[in-house]
Amino acid sequence: MARDGKVSRIVILGTVAMMLGSLLAVRLWFLQAIDAPGLEVRVREVRTRTVKLTPERGRIFDIKGRIVAGNERLLSITIDRAVIAKDLARKQMWDRLSGAVGLSFEELEDRYKSKRYDQLQPLPLKEDVSEDLAIFLRERAEDYPGVDVREEWRREYPFAPMASHVIGFLGAIKASETTFYKNLGYDPDARVGQFGVEQTYESVLRGKPGYVKYEVDSRGRILRIMERKEAIPGNDVQLTINLDIQQFTERALQTELRARQRTEAPTVLSFGQPDPAYPEVTYYKAPAGSTVVLNHETGEVVAMASFPNFDNRWFNAGISSEKFGQLFPKTDDPDQSILVNRAISGRYNLGSAFKPFVAFAALNTGQLPGGTSYSLVDKGTYKLESIPEERCQLNVKCVFKNANCGNGAPCKYGRINVVSALAISSDVFFYKIGEQIFTQRGNKPVLEDQVRLFGFGSPTEIDLPYEYIGTVPSKALKQRLAASGAIAKEEGKGYYVGDNVQFSIGQGLLSASPMQLAVAYGALANGGSVLRPHVVRAIWAPGTPDGKSGSVNLAEGTVLQDFVDPQLLRSIPMSAEVLDPIVRGLTRVVNGPGVRSDIYHSTTGEKLFRSYPKRSLPIAGKTGTAQGAGNLPWNDSSVFGAFSKDPKQPYTTVAYLEKSGYGSRAAAPVTKCVFTALAGKIKVDPAVPADPLDTASYLVASPQLLTNGLCLVGVGSSVRD
């Protein structure tokens, strides 16, 4: 029995051995005859590692070649994912690496688990390491298999925070953009342009990645380079911005805003006495503003300032998310918004700064019989002629007033025509235009159509992101606003005379950005050409040679594409009979004289511009005061637009200061300073690179103030202009 059992076991074992042998033979045959190509691929994959080579991003420099966005070479530590695929192997590697790279086990493990990094590429462990650490790891490849040191680039902004809203910054790819950038071949952890020129010209600046393919052994150690394709650097970009004028413009804007914050707003009166419902003393908040300097013959933006500003170096400073949130807090208060370029994204009423375009509409359509010979007697109030008296008694507003003069009553300017109406900013004159250009033409949108010629309600097509197109009052707009709940449904049922009257003085549902206003004033200056504004002058081949410290040598570089020629959006037919009265009126705003009726009424800019060098650079301009919430004086916003009359210096400037008071008292001084600088009558400090960023600071940007603010000094109008 024992012998039979032993034989049975031997037979069973033999049968199992034969079966296993057969299976092994079948598997070998399958691998050799059927799956040989696949096996070869897998073996090759195991023995090779492909690493992307990051291209150097193109540099950005100003019109004179000064580098405003450059690159710093840095070294990053990576590890082959195959080496740490197993838990035990990864734990052992983290234990060895943590001390060398200065990261805890948990931090290394978090990197491994993060979805930010390309799963098919080596895992980045630490960026911006020292040369000493790189050498240390390379010399100990046996101890750290799969570890490599990769050359990358970090963006630098030498002149920050200057022009930060124009230049922009780099940031991580947003979740909503992941698919878009993935389709373009970007790694998930790539940094891309997220604002300004960095965003608009991302495809130009980025360059093309290269790669290097290594042969490695089973432990991930590099044996040799099998193939290498160098990365192609991105193209360089030259701005139209002049850093010297940009710096001066930013300083003038910030200095004036700070001054307005220390200025008392007018007291609200009730029956001649301070209204107890409001504080007796209220200072202007003056939280924000912007200024644009535009070449109205080319469309080039010479300077663009926006406040609050920011230092774009914070975005690659390696600070914690907590600190970043303190520097750039989320807020629903538009006054506190930092990452908003108010020059192109601001949504503003324009006040009387809009009147030149209403004057154009009236003159161009023949609404003023006889043109400049047409006049009326301004008695301080205007009663609508198209509304029956009985309706006026039923709470329908029929009487509109000028701004109050010093006696508390509406200003009475006497007999005026379109030229003097612009000069002293008569509301009555423009109320009449607003009513009659609507009612006498069958309630057709004549005023709307005329001002749209200048670009209001349409994008300027500037080469920067997040442009606001503005709104022009119309029946369709009111219907949309009513449907969205922005205005009452009853109000949205029609477009009325009162709407057009408010439209005619730059109030109501009219809104525009300072850039739109600058383009429109530029069209008056150049005789009717609405030009596309742009902040980039040219695209240069990669690697423009270096010149003097911090600059490129423009004479040695290669231009691939330039935008020097003006880009015409539309041409407005503008006869001398239409244009000349407007220019004369705007010239009188600056130079005077005013008008005499009951008293002498100076023009809105006459007193302020007495110290301006008019012979060096003659200008024409218009003040505006945009009424704010509750019609309270401290909510008034200040605007001034002006253009040079010297064809050799074709500049247009617009300043808009939020909640800062009358146009002649806040925005006009900034514009006056800028034109004084352009005239060469005030020292403009050369732009110099900034001090290193203090990462311990909680200032989102260092203050930029004029060293000498005398150009801001002057007497503004005492009337809400």
3-class secondary-structure state, position 71: strand
* DSSP single-letter state for residue 353: G
pLDDT by 10-residue block (mean), the chain, 721 residues: 55 60 58 53 61 91 98 88 88 88 89 81 86 85 84 92 98 91 89 96 96 82 86 97 98 98 89 84 95 98 98 91 91 90 97 98 95 95 92 88 86 96 97 97 96 98 97 96 92 93 96 98 98 98 94 97 97 97 98 94 95 97 93 94 97 98 96 98 95 94 94 86 79
Q: Judge contact between 426 and 402, C-beta under 8 A.
A: yes
Given the structure tokens 């290498």, which residue do they identify?
Answer: 228
* DSSP single-letter state for residue 221: -
Q: How far apart are the first and last CA of the chain?
A: 123
In 229-341, alpha helices (H): 243-260, 321-327
Query: What's the rounded Cα separation, in Å, for the pair 509 and 472?
Result: 7
Sign of CA dihedral 657, 660, 664, 666: negative
* Burial environment of residue 32 by CB neighbours within 10 A (0 to 12, 13 to 18, 19 or more): exposed
**Paired sense of beta strands 236-239 and 60-61, if any:** parallel
Alpha-carbon dihedral of residues 388, 435, 445, 503, nearest 10 degrees?
-120
Nearest by Cα to 94 from 137, 139, 144: 144
Q: Judge contact between 150 and 125, C-beta under 8 A.
A: no
Whether the upstream peptide bond of residue 161 has omega within 30° of 0, thus cis, is: yes
Q: Which two tokens stand for residue 237?
A: 């970009």
Axis-axis angle for helices 355-364, 576-591 (nearest 10): 150
Q: Which two tokens stand for residue 314?
A: 């914070």
Q: Judge contact between 171 and 194, C-beta under 8 A.
A: yes
* DSSP single-letter state for residue 118: -
The pLDDT score that the predictor gives to residue 321 is 87
3-state secondary structure 439-457: HCCCCCCHHHHHHHCCCCC
Query: What's the rounded Cα separation, in Å, for the pair 573 and 382?
Result: 32
DSSP secondary structure string for all residues of 556-592: GS-EEEE--S--EEEE----HHHHHHHHHHHHHHHH-
Axis-axis angle for helices 667-678, 243-260 (nearest 10): 150
Structure confidence by residue, pLDDT tens digits, 354-413:
999 999 999 999 999 899 999 999 999 999 999 998 888 888 899 999 998 877 789 999
Helix or strand (DSSP H, E) at 182 = helix 178-183
The pLDDT score that the predictor gives to residue 518 is 98
Q: Which two tokens stand for residue 651?
A: 């500049």
Q: Which residues pair with 623 in a beta bridge?
A: 640
**Paired sense of beta strands 637-644 and 67-79, if any:** unpaired
